[in-house]
Amino acid sequence: MTVTEEKKFPEIITNLPEANIPIKGLRSHLFQGQNQQLVFMSFENDAEVPEHSHETQWGVVLDGQIELTIDGKEHTFTKGDTYFIPKDVRHSAKIKKGYKDLTLFNQKNRYDAK
């Protein structure tokens, strides 16, 4: 297996529908639950997500680094870290190329499938 293949998600994940998230260089795969969504994300470029809020969000960093500003406080998370964003709390992100995570949204319609 090459390094590039190791960095990709396995077929069991890539067979899931892609989530419609308009960020350049983002590959995302959506697992839809009855009341929640799981999104597997991988970034081929650096990316910035402007400040926003929504329902509760929990994530685990699988690879790389993300800088999250949550309710005005800056945090850096790397492989193995988890983060939690409470409902309606303003947050933004600076995401480094190579970042991968699994994010659970407590919202059944956060993203549509492509």
In CATH, 3-105 is 2.60.120.10:
yes
- Which residue matches tokens 């839809």? 32
- Which residue matches tokens 């994010």? 103
**Structure tokens that stand for 14 in this block:** 């890539």
| 40-52 pLDDT tens trace | 999 999 999 999 9
Mean pLDDT of 58-81: 98
Query: 47: closest CA among 69, 13, 72, 22?
Result: 22
Residues whose CB falls within 8 Å of the CB of residue 10, separated by 6 or more in sequence, listed in order? none
For the chain, percent of residues with pLDDT exceeding 90: 93
**Structure tokens that stand for 54 in this block:** 């929504």
Residue 65 near residue 93, CB atoms below 8 Å: no
How is the chain split into domains, by residue range? 3-105
Q: What is the CA radius of gyration of the chain?
A: 14
Average pLDDT, the chain: 94
